[in-house]
Structure 1
Amino acid sequence: MFLESIILKCFYQLNGERSVSSVYHLLKGNKSIQTIQDAHSYQLETLYGIYRHLTRNSFNQKVSFLVEKEYLNEIEGETNAFRLTGQALSCLAESKRQFPFEYFNGLRYNETADTFQLRLLLLIQTLTNTKMRFYQFIPITDQISVEQWVKQIYRKMKSNEAHALQAIYQELYQLLQLFPDKYASLFVERLTGYKTYGKSMNQLAELTKLSIMDVHLLLTGIIHKMIQVIETKPEQFPVLSFLIGDLIEQIPITNSANLTYQLLQKQYTIDQIAVMRNLKINTIHDHIVEIALYDTAFSIDHYINQEKQQQIIDVINQENTFKLRDIKKAVHDDISYFEIRLVLAKKKLLK
């Protein structure tokens, strides 16, 4: 019921202002600026991208189930928009006591988590096997980038596998002490070593009596929490910290937005950048909104004056909405959608 509860949480936060597709794109980690801005505006940053392998069919089945169980009611006059029923609110409150929603930090770690986990699992598998002089094992992943990374690290560790393994063991033991036993065990069951094999998702689902989807989400949350602790206390976890050192960006904007940012810093105008990069002006607008979302030092005053900013903020507060169409109707005609989106991007910093 974890995935269903997460879907309910998303609909609750969106408050009927976004469609079913918006929830799906959010959980998948769609890189569109609209999805990213939704994550910020509706305080769903932690759930962004937490189920990147979720299929549309599986998601639709879950939504249909929630409608059938009368947890979701479709909003009259809106297309594929839902609100929670009273029954759903009770269910959501109970699920928060059963599942670790607080482990997730999707917007920051959704891309880091998979790579960190595969690096760690393959490194442990490699060291435990080579320590026993067994070199013919089948790697737990076929991702070339992960295999190459582990090979490079192994060259530095192979002279003393026992010491490296002991260091990893001590750090993992210390880290897993922060979790309830059932979650620590779930992570440990995935480990592969010399003549031991980590359990598959199917096996873990059978072991825990949960769905495969819920097992996937629990493991994702555990990995997110592990990375957060490692990032916060690198001196306590030097080896594990090294595994994530090159993965976490301080300002995680897309490469294209970063190129636009570099040109903005050289004082080029929006029109000039659009011509130089052969992109539409709306695309440059998207980049600027993305920069404003992530960079606390980025000022939007150059693109919208203080008076307009205040008018937009007043409407957001008075109408209690982040819906662009509703905000646009309530502000002066000379305020553009781009300006509204910029203020929404910065408003998260004003809370």
Structure 2
Amino acid sequence: MLLASIILHAVQPIRNERSTASIYHLLQGKRSAQTLQDAHMYGLTNLFGIYPKLSRELFDQLAQDLLENKIQVTETPIPYFDGMAYQSQTDTFLYRLLLLLQMLSNQANGEKHYIPVTDQAQVQYWVKQLYRQKQLQLGHWRSCLYEELYGLLEKLPEMQAGLFVDRISGYQHIGLTAAQLAVKYNLQVVDVPLYQTSTIHYFLDQVRANKSLFPYLGTLVEQPKQQSHTITSTAHKTRMMLERGLTLDQIAAARGLTENTIKDHIVEMTWLEGRRLASRFIGEADAAVIMDCAEKTGTNKLKQIHATLNGKYDYFQIRMALALRNEQEVET
């Protein structure tokens, strides 16, 4: 079971330091300061938001069964994911592509009446606009999209490529449901969305890296949001006030929040955007001492690092240093 393998993979770096609930929030893509920090601190950014519709009940039951060894998991290779990069684009790209393929297939056969594969109004509007703009070039679009998709799919494992192809609807043809795909490919139903998300992340990664090779698929990619939107909206408000020169207590008072919450925002910014604000709160020498302690003790536990350093640094400084350590690891 792929989901079980992913949970076990995520448990390894965080065991004894965070609860299993943190893994659930990670897979679901909860955009809280804590979950974003966990993703970076434990090297799990690729899994962030890869299963937004995962139910808590299913996750808790599966996690409990794994903990009690009630289920034996054959180690399953985890396919490509880049959730932190593509979480916000996955669904839009997928449904634009599925609806566009459905439209092109029906248009080629003169069929104007069919039930669209998605009822998302924004996706339907996007495909309609493309149809109006390119209606004299649809035959060319059809062949070029086929070539681009074929080139990508032939590099995927056969089962994963088949899952995607069998999902596609077209002229007088309805794509298979998750349950039908699970039966056909001998999978657990809960694993089907994971493989499909992996496929879309692979598409997006290849399109981004090779824009000239995939101009038609590239058209379907939603423009990435500005960098300021990678942090939570509440942290963004805090950053704007910091940039105006306000102190932590002034920001907390103005926003009606605790100073600890404002510190959470600053740590979040540091995890996601590097040392832009860090020097205002911790010097490089002090950060290096904390990083070295975390390395030698082999833990990210704030309490343990705090005790090992005899209380010389407060928890905020330790969290900032751990966030800066993440930046150094990325740079190397």
TM-score normalized by the length of structure 2: 0.91
CA distance in 2, matches of 1:243, 1:296: 30
* 1:338 CA drift (Å): 2.0
Number of residue pairs matched? Answer: 328
CA distance in 2, matches of 1:277, 1:169: 52
Residue 107 (structure 2) aligns with: 130
Cα shift readout 1:183-209 (whole Å, capped 9, x = no counterpart): 211111111111111110000000011
* 1:300 CA drift (Å): 0.8
* 1:321 CA drift (Å): 0.6
Task: Return the letter of the residue paired with 1:253.
Answer: I
Deviates more, 1:285-294 or 1:5-14: 285-294
1:263 aligns with 2:241: yes
* 1:275 CA drift (Å): 4.1
Q: Is the 8 A contact 2:93 2:222 kept in 1?
A: no
Residue 152 (structure 2) aligns with: 175
One of 135, 146, 166 as aligned partner of 2:143: 166
Residue 21 (structure 1) aligns with: 21
Output aligned runs, 1:115-154, within 5 Å: 115-154=92-131
Residue 75 (structure 1) aligns with: none
One of 195, 204, 208 as aligned partner of 1:218: 195
Residue 304 (structure 1) aligns with: 282
Cα shift readout 1:120-160 (whole Å, capped 9, x = no counterpart): 11111122223333222111111222222222222212222
Output aligned runs, 1:186-201, within 5 Å: 186-201=163-178
CA distance in 1, matches of 2:234, 2:33: 12
Residue 82 (structure 1) aligns with: none
1:280 aligns with 2:241: no
Residue 326 (structure 1) aligns with: 304
Deviates more, 1:322-331 or 1:135-144: 322-331
- In structure 1, runs of 5+ residues without a counterpart are 72-87
1:2 aligns with 2:2: yes
Residue 65 (structure 1) aligns with: 65
- In structure 2, runs of 5+ residues without a counterpart are none
Classify the secondary structure of the residue corresponding to 1:283.
helix
Task: Return the letter of the residue paired with 1:256.
Answer: T
Deviates more, 1:111-120 or 1:123-132: 123-132
Q: Is the 8 A contact 2:275 2:324 kept in 1?
A: no
Q: Is the 8 A contact 2:271 2:323 kept in 1?
A: yes
Residue 56 (structure 2) aligns with: 56
CA distance in 2, matches of 1:275, 1:330: 34
Classify the secondary structure of the residue corresponding to 1:239.
helix
* 1:256 CA drift (Å): 2.9
TM-score normalized by the length of structure 1: 0.86
Cα shift readout 1:59-116 (whole Å, capped 9, x = no counterpart): 1221222133268xxxxxxxxxxxxxxxx8xx6xx62xx43x2401112212221221
CA distance in 2, matches of 1:301, 1:58: 43
* 1:246 CA drift (Å): 1.2
Q: Is the 8 A contact 1:186 1:204 kept in 2?
A: yes
Residue 292 (structure 2) aligns with: 314
CA distance in 2, matches of 1:64, 1:237: 44
Classify the secondary structure of the residue corresponding to 1:188.
helix
* 1:8 CA drift (Å): 0.9
Residue 183 (structure 2) aligns with: 206
Q: Is the 8 A contact 1:25 1:35 kept in 2?
A: yes
Residue 40 (structure 1) aligns with: 40
Cα shift readout 1:315-338 (whole Å, capped 9, x = no counterpart): 211211111222222335352322
Task: Return the letter of the residue paired with 1:304.
Answer: I
CA distance in 1, matches of 2:280, 2:137: 57
CA distance in 1, matches of 2:199, 2:205: 10
Classify the secondary structure of the residue corresponding to 2:212.
coil
Q: Is the 8 A contact 1:253 1:294 kept in 2?
A: yes
Change beyond 3 A, Cα 1:249–1:194:
farther
Task: Return the letter of the residue paired with 1:298.
Answer: R
Q: Is the 8 A contact 2:32 2:232 kept in 1?
A: no
Q: Compute the RMSD of aligned alpha carbons.
A: 2.2
* 1:180 CA drift (Å): 2.2
Q: Is the 8 A contact 1:112 1:248 kept in 2?
A: no
Task: Return the letter of the residue paired with 1:106.
Answer: G
Q: Is the 8 A contact 2:231 2:269 kept in 1?
A: yes
